[in-house]
């Protein structure tokens, strides 16, 4: 994938870095059911935006909310993969770190749902 020499990882061309990012998304998508569910929710949100056409501010808020949730899902998975590799056995502090990362995803998901609900309410009332 990246090789073992840390010096060779720095200052890669943009296309190579983009490839690494795409590989990360692909890996998490294939491994994590929760990420696939969040991607499905993102597609549903995009469909709602196409149907409702709420305007640029609401569209930006929904897009940012969706992006934040997906980014946190990726970060949560990266943390879990790293911790499981470094310490495969159960450990209280590692469990706490994983729980905190999962809580970040949950909070972002709740906030995204609130943005979506407020958008629907505002567009129904003409706002």
Active site residues: 73
96, exposed or middle or buried, with CB in 10 Å at 0-12, 13-18, 19+? exposed
- Whole-angstrom distance, CA of residue 10 vs CA of residue 125: 51
Q: Is 54 helix (H, G, I), strand (E, B) or coil?
A: coil
Which of 87, 109, 83 minimizes the C-alpha distance to 97?
Answer: 83
- Under a CB-based contact definition with an 8 Å cutoff, are residues 68 and 112 in contact? yes
**CB of 98 closer than 8 Å to CB of 80:** yes
Is residue 61 a contact partner of residue 122, using CB atoms and an 8 Å limit? no
């Amino acid at each position: 994938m990246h090789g073992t020499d840390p010096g060779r990882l720095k200052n890669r061309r943009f296309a190579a870095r983009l490839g690494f990012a795409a590989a990360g998304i692909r890996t998490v998508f294939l491994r994590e059911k929760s990420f696939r569910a969040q991607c499905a929710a993102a597609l549903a949100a995009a469909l709602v935006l196409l149907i409702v056409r709420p305007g640029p501010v609401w569209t930006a808020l929904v897009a940012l909310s969706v992006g934040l949730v997906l980014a946190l899902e990726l970060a949560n998975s990266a943390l879990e993969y790293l911790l499981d590799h470094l310490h495969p056995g159960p450990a209280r502090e590692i469990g706490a770190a994983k729980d905190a990362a999962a809580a970040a995803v949950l909070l972002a998901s709740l906030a995204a749902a609130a943005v979506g609900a407020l958008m629907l309410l505002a567009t129904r009332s003409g706002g």
